[in-house]
Each structure stands twice: as C-alpha cells, then as structure tokens.
Chains A and B, each alone.
Chain A
C-alpha cells in the first residue's frame, strides 16, 4: 500500500511561533486531507487539498502532487493549536480509501 511519512514526529512551539509540518507519500494520489486531533480526541478536517495551495485563517497548506509531498503551515501559533496533525492520502485507484500518516504531535506553550 501507499506509504505516508510525516515529519517531525513531535514539535514544541512557543505561543506566537510559526511552523511547517511535512507529509511525504510514496505514490500518486488523488485525495489528500489534513486533520487536527485535539487533546480531547476530536478529529477536525483542516483541508481537502489534493493539489495546490489553500488558506484558512492562520493555517495554510500546499500540496505538490508531482513531487509527492504536502506542507501544512501554522502561523502565530496558539495553545489551541496543540494536538496531533494527521495527513491522509488516497490513490486514484481508490479515492475513498485514505491512508493515514503517524501524525505530528504539536505542543504550543504559553
């Protein structure tokens, strides 16, 4: 199956700092989504971004499908940004099936 690697595995930030999370994948994808799992366990979809760039408030994401990676940018981090960030991808042969990376655990300190 497709391999999804996220880096770094852990990230500690001071409030107000900026950061970049990376997602590499091993094959062509037709579906790529970023999720945030907050400390209470809720999974929130951040972006559906199989290609291109999107922004939502302090978060933005870029996917370069031809080079098999996606980046998630967090600017002016807040303590509420803490949690685990997951990248998930789906191959053209089965767009519905998302394979998840192991996640990046982000801790934002006040």
Chain B
C-alpha cells in the first residue's frame, strides 16, 4: 500500500528563521509530487511540482524553494521565513496526469 508521510506535523517559527518541510512517498515508484499551500481560510495554491528526481518546476514561489533529492522525497524550504508563509502545507502525489491526487496530512506552519 502507498503511504505519504509529511514532517513535521506542525511548526512554530520566528520571522527570518529557516524552514525545511519534508514529504516521503512509499509504495510507488516515480510518482509526480506536488507542494500545495493553503492560507488560513484560503484556497489551495500549488507551489511546486516534480515529475522526476532532481527536477522541480515552480508554479508560485512565495520566496520558497523545493527539491527532490530522491525519487520518493520532496523537500520544501526557505532560508528566511516571512509572516505571510503561515498556513497549511500539503504534499501530494499522483501517478499520471489524469489520476487523482493523494494528499499527505499536511504541516501547519505558524510564523510569529
């Protein structure tokens, strides 16, 4: 069975501090991977996607970056957090372009 794991579950960080969020998918090889962001009370906004190791495309950067160091791993990071980075970050995967998205449980980020 496929599993998607995001870490951490929640973070409270100071403005200007660095951030690294992780996502691991087990049970599927070469998935498409995505990072979504959801502001409190806001809609889902796709940030990045990756269809293969080492390749990441940016949709909306928001002063964030993403990397895919392994086939099953997707990392979201920034060197300096902004207040506007607060929200809910969701990792998701799919196998093909017309397949459903499977979301992880998300990371709630509070920037103070």
> Do the two chains bind?
no
- Chain B interfacial positions (CB closer than 8 Å to A): none
